[in-house]
Amino acid sequence: MASAKRKPAKSRRCKLESPGWNEKTRRALERLIDRGAGKNLPVVFDFDNTLVCGDVQEATLAVLARSGRLTAARLPETLSPSFRLPGKGLVTLQSGADLTEYYEAFLAPTAHGDRDPTPLANGYAWAVEVLEHLRVSEVVAATREACEFARAPHDGFIEVTPGKTRFPAPRFYPEMVELVAELIRHRFDVWIISASNVWSVRWMVQHELNPRLRQHGLKQGLRADHVIGISTLLTDRSGRLYKDALLVRNDPGYAALDEKTLRSFRLTSRLQFPVPTYSGKIACIFDAIGDRPYLCAGDSPGDHPMLVYSRHRLWIARLEKPGYQKKLAQLIRKTGSAGWMIQAARTRGEIGFVSAPAPVA
């Protein structure tokens, strides 16, 4: 008897069910995913304050600074120029409670004027350059420690100098985990392009994101070589220099963050280019993906170039950053509102996505 031909199973439509989604954004994302499904279209996420609440680079820096593994005294003098800031006077590496105070000031080194479209770029690079001489294994160990602060009995903050400097421990937004899961399930090519150091982001993907994706029923999570961040040239005992972009493809132990392998590489002071901040993120997309993304997601002016470059855009509007929302409104006036999806998020107090429309104006 001839067997009846089976109809191919109809692929499941995208459904985003987490409660924090804004209704309009949720429906727009579902439609977008259904429309692009099965074509391996590239989708690019920023990491800090887009996929997670908090900043993994700052949290890692905070852990290293509070434990004394990273101090002003061990940094080369030329790395941290003194500079004057309006209302703050002279900022020097030694003038703050600890080096994270210098970092925060250095995030706006040109604040004496109001025309700098890329104020954060040098601060982001500095936060990785200060890790010079550390082993990659020490960087990921600090990230692991930073993530512990997100769990009880801690209060979610990493205090560097008591009463003066503290940073939130990063934690994934459940809605974004669900979105990544749906994108992978519907056969999109998902990437992360971050201005944090690449090893910390990769550790969080392997140990915090991928287990959550498995809970969503996925067999495979995000691949190590689909995580791009700031890195330096690396050196090993034989004195060779290496680039992260090559190691992650050619050395399975390195890609898997194997402790013994990571112990054999130390960071140098020299950055790998292009550096993924602002338009550098487009340069990274060009080099690694070679195609215009179908969808990009981001939360800060450092993401504006790649968002504009992308065919569709998801903006995570942090309610505590009205300045960012004002800049976004200016950008939308230039690009037109087509392709923009906006999702509000609270990053202090009761953190998480807020389903009410975001105040972008």
Decide: is 60 part of the binding site for Mg ion (CB under 5 A).
no
- The secondary structure of residue 251, as a DSSP letter, is -
Decide: is 189 part of the binding site for Mg ion (CB under 5 A).
no
Decide: is 49 part of the binding site for Mg ion (CB under 5 A).
yes
Decide: is 175 part of the binding site for Mg ion (CB under 5 A).
no
Nearest distance in Å: CB 316, Mg ion? 8
Among 101, 103, 299, 315, binds Mg ion (CB under 5 A): 299
Decide: is 58 part of the binding site for Mg ion (CB under 5 A).
no
Q: How many CB atoms lie within 10 A of CB 186?
A: 19
Among 232, 300, 310, 347, binds Mg ion (CB under 5 A): 300
Decide: is 57 part of the binding site for Mg ion (CB under 5 A).
no
Decide: is 48 part of the binding site for Mg ion (CB under 5 A).
yes
Phi, psi of 317 (to 5 degrees): -90, 105
Nearest distance in Å: CB 52, Mg ion? 9
Question: For Mg ion, which stretch binds (CB under 5 A), given 136-144, 238-246, 255-263, 297-305?
Answer: 297-305
Nearest to 242 by CA among 231, 253, 252: 231
- 45, 50, 114, 119: CA torsion to nearest 10: -60
Decide: is 279 part of the binding site for Mg ion (CB under 5 A).
no
Tokens for 166, please give them. Answer: 């503290």
Judge contact between 123 and 111, C-beta under 8 A.
no
Nearest distance in Å: CB 315, Mg ion? 11
- Residue 197: its H or E element: strand 189-197
CB-nearer residue toward Mg ion: 46 or 58: 46
Nearest distance in Å: CB 7, Mg ion? 44
CB-nearer residue toward Mg ion: 97 or 354: 354
Nearest distance in Å: CB 64, Mg ion? 21
Side by side, which strands form the sheet with 352-354?
Answer: 227-230, 189-197, 42-45, 295-298, 312-318, 340-346, 352-354
Tokens for 343, please give them. Answer: 């999702």
Bridge partners for 76 per DSSP: none
Question: For Mg ion, which stretch binds (CB under 5 A), given 155-163, 197-205, 230-238, 300-308?
Answer: 300-308
What Rg do the C-alpha atoms of the chain give, in angstroms? 21
Question: For Mg ion, which stretch binds (CB under 5 A), given 42-50, 185-193, 203-211, 319-327?
Answer: 42-50
Nearest to 131 by CA among 236, 47, 231, 202: 231
Q: At what angle do helices 174-185 and 23-36 cross, to 10 degrees?
A: 20
Decide: is 46 part of the binding site for Mg ion (CB under 5 A).
yes
Question: For Mg ion, which stretch binds (CB under 5 A), given 38-46, 170-178, 230-238, 334-342?
Answer: 38-46
Q: What is the DSSP string of 268-279?
A: EEEEPSS--STH
Count of residues of this chain found to bind Mg ion when the rule CB under 5 A is applied? 6
Decide: is 325 part of the binding site for Mg ion (CB under 5 A).
no
Nearest distance in Å: CB 300, Mg ion? 5
Question: For Mg ion, which stretch binds (CB under 5 A), given 205-213, 236-244, 293-301, 346-354?
Answer: 293-301
Q: Is the dihedral of CA 129, 206, 223, 317 positive or negative?
A: negative
CB-nearer residue toward Mg ion: 201 or 255: 201
Decide: is 98 part of the binding site for Mg ion (CB under 5 A).
no
Q: How many CB atoms lie within 10 A of CB 62?
A: 28
Decide: is 22 part of the binding site for Mg ion (CB under 5 A).
no
First to last CA, the chain: 68
Nearest distance in Å: CB 53, Mg ion? 11
- Residue matched to tokens 């509007």: 317
CB-nearer residue toward Mg ion: 229 or 339: 229
Decide: is 343 part of the binding site for Mg ion (CB under 5 A).
no
d(CA 212, CA 142): 21
Given the rule CB under 5 A, which residues bind Mg ion?
46, 48-50, 299-300
